[in-house]
Structure 1
């Protein structure tokens, strides 16, 4: 609900937000990465939350809209922060009041402002306008096809801007659109497979856009989608290890994407994970020291990521933290800043006709919630060829998928992640190895085991390991009098595990 903007001098401007008492604040401060400290600057001319902050080509920061201390009062005002003087000055007002909108710096130096709400929940806007830093004024441009707020917008390599999902008057959207700065018009593109709001989006090195998590009437999502600008189509990607909404999404210099914290339903999260574009998979990336949602994540010049503010169970977070990709997984505390990020309860959303999905569907997958992320390590072969052990591994993986209770990581994705981490996917049967592998794969449970042969009989042994605690949750064994019965033996093991 506050903003955090990297300045040309390497410092970070943190502005506005809400206190633990629920009041919007006008205070602002600077984080100095060299000293690791915060200092007061500003303040803004108005208290703001759910506003936007955009770094302009001249080095100043444009602050737009939001709502003020009385959350029923939404602002049309805007102001400029000058890093040289450390002060805010008013600039022209928008044509309408907006909060929970987007603001994107275009390649021509102007700022596109789109959507948002006239109040805290309903009365959503489809209108858009442009801010010209040269004249210090706002002027109209085309309107979106769908009114929307609380959605991400991504500047594409060709200069167009992608608007993704969000909600409109309590209707969650799967519809998306593109803004073309040349024509000044919006056009529709393919719908997402799942309607969502409070989600994240990041531009990948290949020009595609990763859309992560969020929420809809079915609950908090772990699902992800990829948008391909060449085809204008969204496709389902590998799910995250956690369901999360109101999280942060940051593309790192390596091209990987850091997804951090957020909330699972009403519970704030501290977990973080990395998306590997080359493999299309996620792996664990440590945890924040304090859970938080609706926070800000800022990529610093040295490649580290600064986390500020957020909401932890109704309390605004003052602790700031740094993520160091070179020491991954590594998150460390830095100096505390004034608390920013209390989030009031919002009205429940309902599916409706503008979700952009076929009639009779709510725009989400009911099976998304409740399934456990698992992976199956290559089984060890004892007195049997390794190829036989590998076949049994695949049998077990297939049977787990067929239950519908698990989200099972595909073998090819496992191999890609483990190869990048230089971790061998074989010979892993003990708890310590299972935990280490599970953390790299970003799953909650690992299935590890072995296939052995004694005389004419085969024996399968499987342990289920909780990655977070290292505890063996269950052990199973089954035997088969012939190799053709091994699949049936795996099925029996999975049936027993599903009853737990």
Structure 2
């Protein structure tokens, strides 16, 4: 028997009164066409979430031809259901080839017996690259409304949906993909991808076209979009300093109220919300008009405009960047140079980049004051050189538990030339480099690096010396202790693993990648050889 959809009903339960009526969760399971159903013997359901005892993580085993033991889900926040497909009744993760496919629901809250949650779970083979599917019967490939683009932003909303905004179509055979001369058109279109339905849907357009901008989610769930390249009424490509806000309740954009613009137009910069506040946004680096404007760090507050500008004449003690840089890599660190108690400063760390003079090799860390106006100051002891010189278009990932930043690939020359095979490790706890992993077999820049569960990093695509790549790889950490029971003598062992993950279905570079609410990596846009845009979206379902 072959099927593409299976519906299950799950009960929820609370504690206290014996008079309660159980709530219900109905979950539809949708199965990827690539799953080998002739090998299936059992399903295994589990539920995860804060406060769920480890013993409840594995709830029930469904055997074909027998009554199903349906899992009960305890009330609480951030619940998630995982479905695994097994070739034996044991569903043993230690046995190779036993668990052959899996899928996860989005996270959901169940707090009262009156609540009813409807979920869709897309089950795919493990360690598999495929296409997103619209989760309805029959399944069909889910395609972005605007697919041929680079320089868009992806922002995960509080409800798990993903906002995809703006972007540019680049000219065929253009020299690069990020300069004004490379851009053919810029879009103002925006769309939402909903992991629970598997569908892309257009929303109201932005107030103006923009690409290579930044989008930051703030405390109330709105998304603030800043700067970028835009297209003027006469068709020219120019830098903009405008700011607009997306409201996820109405799916609409509007210009930010008050002094809603940056001091200068900027593109190819970085922006992060200040974690201690949830609303203030630090804007740093990039290309600007005038060019020296991007030397300064700005703090933008929605509805109020700029509340800090790192000109020491305005804010004594403040420090601008040592040099203008764009196409750099940047990470926000909530506990930079933390002490033995785990306390540190909020900071943004910049790696590499380029400017009109060439490649930037400096690493700079700027600490952020915990209260308004969130003054930034460069940590002069943090100014170190990148190993073997600077790079641009580095893929970077910060892993919070131990404060390591992984820096993958990049280009060692301007114009996206001379790709690097390095994977460097930087410690935000010490402000110094810790060394490097083994080199990538194929040097690359403009790849993506996406943080998965269990501190695993998924590397995908990129531009190599022979063209655009379809290669993937993993960076994997393992905590090894001399005394595991006492957790003494522990250290992380980190390895680069190539050849164990599947290739992409389409080679691509300069694309977007985001770890979605159902535990899959969604990849969008980018370009292939001759700078042709890549239209289909991709999913990676981790092992």
The bucket for the TM-score relative to the shorter chain is 0.5 to 0.7
After TM superposition, the structure 1 stretch with the greater mean CA deviation from structure 2, 276-285 or 169-178, is: 169-178
Once the two structures are TM-superposed, the CA of residue 256 in structure 1 deviates from its matched residue by: 1.1
Cα pair 1:154 1:201 within 8 Å, conserved: no
Given candidates 260, 284, 288, the residue that maps to 1:164 is: 284
Once the two structures are TM-superposed, the CA of residue 213 in structure 1 deviates from its matched residue by: 0.7
Aligned partners of 2:251, 2:225: CA distance in 1, in Å?
A: 14
Aligned partners of 1:226, 1:167: CA distance in 2, in Å?
A: 19
Quickly say closer, same or farther: Cα 1:276–1:104, change in 2 above 3 A. Answer: same
Once the two structures are TM-superposed, the CA of residue 113 in structure 1 deviates from its matched residue by: 0.6
Once the two structures are TM-superposed, the CA of residue 331 in structure 1 deviates from its matched residue by: 3.1
Deviations 1:298-356 (A, max 9, x none): 1101211111122123722211111113241323231111111148999xxxxxxxxxx
Given candidates 135, 141, 146, the residue that maps to 2:250 is: 135
Q: Which runs of 5+ in 2 are unaligned?
A: 1-79, 83-102, 105-120, 133-141, 172-182, 311-318, 336-343, 370-374, 479-492, 510-526, 532-543
Once the two structures are TM-superposed, the CA of residue 50 in structure 1 deviates from its matched residue by: 1.3
Quickly say closer, same or farther: Cα 1:148–1:57, change in 2 above 3 A. Answer: same
Match for residue 203 of structure 1? 332
Aligned partners of 1:219, 1:31: CA distance in 2, in Å?
A: 46
Once the two structures are TM-superposed, the CA of residue 9 in structure 1 deviates from its matched residue by: 8.4
Q: What root-mean-square deviation, in Å, do the aligned CA atoms of Structure 1 and Structure 2 show?
A: 2.9
Match for residue 52 of structure 1? 153
In the alignment, does 2:458 pair up with 1:306?
yes
Quickly say closer, same or farther: Cα 1:44–1:345, change in 2 above 3 A. Answer: closer
Question: How many residues matched?
Answer: 322
Deviations 1:361-394 (A, max 9, x none): xxxxxxxxxxxxxxxxxxxxxxxxxxxxxxxxxx
Match for residue 111 of structure 1? 223
Cα pair 1:286 1:331 within 8 Å, conserved: no
Aligned partners of 2:236, 2:460: CA distance in 1, in Å?
A: 25
After TM superposition, the structure 1 stretch with the greater mean CA deviation from structure 2, 115-124 or 269-278, is: 115-124
What SS does the aligned partner of 2:407 have? strand
Match for residue 115 of structure 2? none
Once the two structures are TM-superposed, the CA of residue 169 in structure 1 deviates from its matched residue by: 5.1
What SS does the aligned partner of 2:168 have? coil
Aligned partners of 2:284, 2:153: CA distance in 1, in Å?
A: 17
TM-score by length of 1: 0.60
Once the two structures are TM-superposed, the CA of residue 216 in structure 1 deviates from its matched residue by: 1.5
Match for residue 83 of structure 1? 195
Q: Which runs of 5+ in 1 are unaligned?
A: 1-7, 13-29, 347-500
Once the two structures are TM-superposed, the CA of residue 132 in structure 1 deviates from its matched residue by: 0.6
Aligned partners of 2:307, 2:503: CA distance in 1, in Å?
A: 42
What SS does the aligned partner of 1:302 have? helix
Once the two structures are TM-superposed, the CA of residue 34 in structure 1 deviates from its matched residue by: 7.6
Aligned partners of 2:420, 2:332: CA distance in 1, in Å?
A: 24
Cα pair 1:258 1:273 within 8 Å, conserved: yes
Cα pair 1:314 1:344 within 8 Å, conserved: no
Once the two structures are TM-superposed, the CA of residue 222 in structure 1 deviates from its matched residue by: 1.8
Match for residue 228 of structure 1? 367
Cα pair 1:273 1:286 within 8 Å, conserved: no
Match for residue 507 of structure 2? 339
In the alignment, does 2:248 pair up with 1:248?
no
Once the two structures are TM-superposed, the CA of residue 33 in structure 1 deviates from its matched residue by: 10
Match for residue 473 of structure 1? none
Once the two structures are TM-superposed, the CA of residue 269 in structure 1 deviates from its matched residue by: 0.9
In the alignment, does 2:357 pair up with 1:218?
yes
In the alignment, does 2:212 pair up with 1:100?
yes
Quickly say closer, same or farther: Cα 1:264–1:135, change in 2 above 3 A. Answer: same
Deviations 1:402-438 (A, max 9, x none): xxxxxxxxxxxxxxxxxxxxxxxxxxxxxxxxxxxxx
Given candidates 262, 282, 288, the residue that maps to 2:410 is: 262
Once the two structures are TM-superposed, the CA of residue 278 in structure 1 deviates from its matched residue by: 2.6
What SS does the aligned partner of 2:295 have? coil
Aligned partners of 2:530, 2:358: CA distance in 1, in Å?
A: 15
Once the two structures are TM-superposed, the CA of residue 292 in structure 1 deviates from its matched residue by: 1.6
Q: Which has the higher helix share?
A: 1
TM-score by length of 2: 0.55
Once the two structures are TM-superposed, the CA of residue 140 in structure 1 deviates from its matched residue by: 1.1
Cα pair 1:298 1:306 within 8 Å, conserved: yes
Quickly say closer, same or farther: Cα 1:103–1:110, change in 2 above 3 A. Answer: same
Cα pair 2:508 2:528 within 8 Å, conserved: no
Quickly say closer, same or farther: Cα 1:146–1:105, change in 2 above 3 A. Answer: same
Once the two structures are TM-superposed, the CA of residue 167 in structure 1 deviates from its matched residue by: 0.5
Once the two structures are TM-superposed, the CA of residue 31 in structure 1 deviates from its matched residue by: 12
Cα pair 1:38 1:336 within 8 Å, conserved: yes
Aligned partners of 1:52, 1:225: CA distance in 2, in Å?
A: 24
In the alignment, does 2:167 pair up with 1:66?
yes
After TM superposition, the structure 1 stretch with the greater mean CA deviation from structure 2, 107-116 or 233-242, is: 233-242
Cα pair 2:298 2:308 within 8 Å, conserved: yes
In the alignment, does 2:133 pair up with 1:43?
no
Quickly say closer, same or farther: Cα 1:310–1:169, change in 2 above 3 A. Answer: farther
